[in-house]
Structure 1
Amino acid sequence: MSEVSRVLKTFIAYMKRPDLYPELGRKIIKNTLNRKNAFKGKEKTGSWAQSKAVSQHEAVQHLFGADTASFRSLYADILTEAAKKERECPVKMGGAGALEMIYFACEYTQANNVVETGVAYGWSSLAALLSLKKRGGTLYSSDMPYLAQDGDQYVGCVVPEDLKGFWKLFRFADRESLPKIFADRTAFDVVHYDSDKSYNGRFWAYQELYKHLRKGGVFISDDIGDNSAYQDFCEKNNIDSVVVEFEGKYVGIFIK
């Protein structure tokens, strides 16, 4: 599909969904007037992240006192089946991410309530749900419909049926989903951000999510090297964040 065809298909899909009009307006502004803002501070944060970066194994051991290898051995069959479902999915939606970090964050906090933004195949959702199931907890997820790819039915496709009873999925942009989620649950044990990559979108969501993270809870954000939103947020709130280098990208994580 050409770029013009993709944009046109996305626009038509938005027009059929009045509930998504607010996000359509934000996207138009972001991709025209605020285009440069998406990468604000990228070079600064790239240097900052590189100077602090450790491996996922080191971060999990340091923060949670756990060995990442145990996750892969404990859930080998489930992860193998999930990988098979991803391969069979006709829509491309992104990689698995730092699953061990998410799982052990939930284990460390003995999480009963987790909120994430961004679902795609559902790898991060799977990692959180494997822990939440032990305590009968709930994962709240915010994820925009895949309007240009006809991919809605595949969102979360790697999550097994027996885990879906512990999952509440809100199919809107973060600015619409998060208020709905916070109306249902006001405090969370773990926060995982992996949605809007723009500076403004990140900074707004970080502030909202941080307010609803309990003291002692864990905050995780993927792709923090895209711009300086995460670094600026941490500096504004005097947060000493751990930075993890994972598959050529940076993930930020701290305990509140």
Structure 2
Amino acid sequence: MWPKFNTVSEISSVLKTLLAYLKRPDLYPELRRKIIKNTLQRKNAFKGKEKTNSWAASRAVSQQEAIAKLFGMKMDSFRTLYAEVLKKSEQKQKECPIKMGGAGALELIYYACESVEAKHVVETGVAYGWSSLAALLSLEKRNGTLYSSDMPYLAQDGDQYVGCVVPENLKPYWKLFRFADKESLPKIFTETPAFDVIHYDSDKSYNGRFWAYNELYKRLKPGGIFISDDIGDNSAYQDFCEKNHFETTVVEYEGKYIGVFVK
């Protein structure tokens, strides 16, 4: 029932994380959930993974195809338009002493925001801040706001590097909440009750996803865009869409699958 650790470094990392949690009473609710998730709910984390990967592979399209189909736009200009910004952000990532998540499908996020002329966007999961950057490059045009939920990087002492690729000139349009989704999202919803675009990229567990999908969807405006990364980890996204009869597009990007639909 308890997770197995193969190396001394893994044990050390777990102990370091636990100690960091104990120093942060505001994170105790998430610590309790993690203990339950890694013991009682461990088998459910990858529930339906094989089923969903087969389902996703059978319908997957490229990022370019999805942007044309859903938003009626071409994605060719993004890398040219923001070449200098992206170059500086890539350098900031190289200089970062800790490892976090990669860049992801930036064009999909950017053109989602552009297509609905987004003013309010919420994302879960920040890491280096690549998805944040993509959304902010669109939001700044309309003086909009990005609301982000991201847990502190307790095991790596990496708090100060979260969002490090986001330029200073974009930060006035950004509100970052440093808690788990179950604490961050209610705080975000009290500030803004409805959103134009939602981007999910945080808790990868089946139960964590399913809870967040439902909470986020309720706050998505009609015509708004819902995006979820890494939907092949388990069947939460597929089950959520099928349960609610949503027609979704699946994007294959660097060997992983992203789900996206319009409400």
TM-score tier (shorter): over 0.9
Give the aligned partner of residue 94 of structure 2. 87
Q: Does residue 255 of structure 1 match 2:253?
A: no
TM-score between the two structures when normalised by the length of structure 1: 0.99
1:94, distance to aligned residue in structure 2 (A): 1.4
1:55 is aligned to 62
Q: Which runs of 5+ in 1 are unaligned?
A: none
Residue aligning to 2:147 = 140
Paired AA for residue 227 in structure 2: I
What amino acid is aligned across from residue 155 of structure 2 in structure 1?
A
Q: Give the structure-2-normalised TM-score.
A: 0.97
Q: 2:48 aligns with which of 27, 41, 54?
A: 41
Kindly indicate whether residue 185 of structure 2 is the aligned counterpart of residue 175 of structure 1: no
The 1-side partners of 2:171 and 2:119 are apart by 15
1:209 matched to 2:216: yes
Whole-Å separation in 2 of the counterparts to 1:211 and 1:140: 16
Per-residue Cα deviation, 1:139-192 (whole angstroms, up to 9, x for no partner): 000000000000000000000000000000000000000000001100000000
Give me the whole-angstrom Cα distance separating, in 1, the residues matched to 2:197 and 2:244: 18
Q: CA separation in 2, counterparts of 1:3 and 1:29?
A: 19
SS at match of 2:45: helix
Report the Cα distance in structure 2 between the residues aligned to 1:107 and 1:94, rounded to whole angstroms. 24
Q: 1:5 aligns with which of 8, 12, 15?
A: 12
Is the counterpart of residue 184 in structure 1 residue 184 in structure 2?
no
SS state at 1:150 partner: coil
Aligned partner of 1:153 among 154, 160, 168 = 160
Cα shift readout 1:176-225 (whole Å, capped 9, x = no counterpart): 00000001100000000000000000000000000000000000000000
Letter aligned with residue 56 of structure 1: Q
Asked if 1:119 is matched to 2:130, the reply is no
Taking the aligned partners of 2:175 and 2:88, their CA distance within structure 1 comes to 22
Q: Which amino acid aligns with 1:64?
A: F
In 2, Cα distance between equivalents of 1:45 and 1:229: 9
Q: Tell me the residue number matched to 1:102.
A: 109
Q: How far off is 1:126 after superposition?
A: 0.2
How far off its partner does 1:107 sit? 0.2
Segments of 4+ moved more than 4 angstroms: none
Q: Whole-Å Cα distance in 1 between the matches of residues 12 and 75 of structure 2? A: 43
Q: What SS does the aligned partner of 2:15 have?
A: helix
Aligned length in residues: 256
Q: Does 1:194 align with 2:173?
A: no
Report the 3-state secondary structure (helix = DSSP H, G, I; strand = E; otherwise coil) of the residue aligned with 1:253.
strand
Instruction: Give ranges in structure 2 of 5+ residues lacking alignment.
Output: 1-7
Question: Aligned equivalents of 1:165 and 1:53: distance in 2?
Answer: 36
Letter in 2 for 1:73: T
